[in-house]
Amino acid sequence: MWLDISAVTAWGILLIKYAIDGTLYILVHPSYYLLVTITGVCLLLIGIFQSWRLYRGKIAKSQELHSSLLPQGVTTMLLLGTAIAGLVITPKLFTSHAAVQRGVSSEAVTVTRSQTQAFRTTVKPESKTLVDWIRTLNNYPEPDAYLGQKININGFAFHDTKLPDNYLMLSRFVITCCAADAYPVALPVKITGTRTSYPQDSWFKVKGKAIVETLSGSRQLVIEASEIKPIPTPKNPYQE
């Protein structure tokens, strides 16, 4: 019984720790922060209450018996071991390596139509985030519709070797529920000089305008950068 209580308590401590130190920002969608935090508090309180009951002898021995697909104690040991590992090992933010593994590249940018068609939007272009631009392109992928529009976005750099040296990809991860379903989005940035001046995985604010170029065999929206400024890694890398 002490093992079960330890597992519940450890998970409560882990979730509360993640909520306090901000680790939840890289693990779950913001919509679930409060739920996860409340769950952590509840687990910790349950663990403390059950410890008190067991210490006072108010939990009958018969309550320890339960059926399980695994031998008694194995499931609890797995839960406890996972919680301890979470307390010892700090989760890492996704990097360009994960972005490439999950399928982002210059070839993954929305394929465009061959002819320009009319399109209007009420949102100011310079107010759009990187994710907003990707969603806009998914809805209407003709790059000429955005030609000359101002762009002001944040993201981390990664170097696509299929592009010339005067291009880098600015990327972010989009999260739906948790880090397991996070997927990368990116836009190519045309720079002055070579991308070696912009270290991979470093975060930048890019200002410029939209131009249209042919990359990897398709016409794409490209950011012609007028200013690239290093910024700290945001507390919440999935939201702007």
Whole-angstrom Cα distance, residue 223 to residue 147?
A: 10
* Other Cβ atoms closer than 10 A to 181: 10
Structure confidence at residue 81 as a pLDDT band (50, 70, 90) = confident
Kindly state the tokens that stand for 92.
């890492």
Which own/partner pairs from 209-212 qualify as long-range (CB within 8 Å, at least 24 positions apart)?
Answer: 209/148, 209/149, 209/150, 209/151, 210/125, 210/143, 210/146, 210/147, 210/148, 210/149, 210/151, 211/147, 211/148, 212/143, 212/144, 212/147
One-letter identity of residue 134: I
Handedness of CA 65, 67, 68, 70 (dihedral sign): positive
Instruction: Write down the pLDDT at residue 2.
Output: 77
Rounded Cα gap, residues 188 and 228, in angstroms: 13
- Please provide the average confidence, as pLDDT, over all residues in the chain: 82
pLDDT digits (tens, 9 = 90+) for 25-62: 888 888 889 999 999 999 999 999 888 888 777 665 44
- pLDDT for 209 beyond 80: yes
Could you tell me where the beta strands, DSSP code E, fall in 123-202? 150-158, 167-174, 183-190
Is residue 194 within 8 Å of residue 116, measured between CB atoms? Answer: no
* Buried residues in 76-102 as b, exposed as e (16+ CB within 10 A): beebbeebeebeeeeeeebebebbbee
- Which DSSP letter does residue 190 get? E
Domains for the chain: give ranges and CATH numbers. 2-88 (no CATH), 96-230 (2.40.50.200)
Residue for token digits 């131009």? 211
pTM (predicted TM-score): 0.73
List, in order, residues 6 or more apart from 223 with CB less than 8 Å away: 151, 153, 170, 187, 188, 189, 190, 206, 208, 209, 210, 211
Tens of pLDDT along 85-128?
888 888 877 777 777 666 665 545 544 443 444 444 556 888 89
51, two tokens: 């410890």
What is the pLDDT, as a whole number, of residue 65? 44
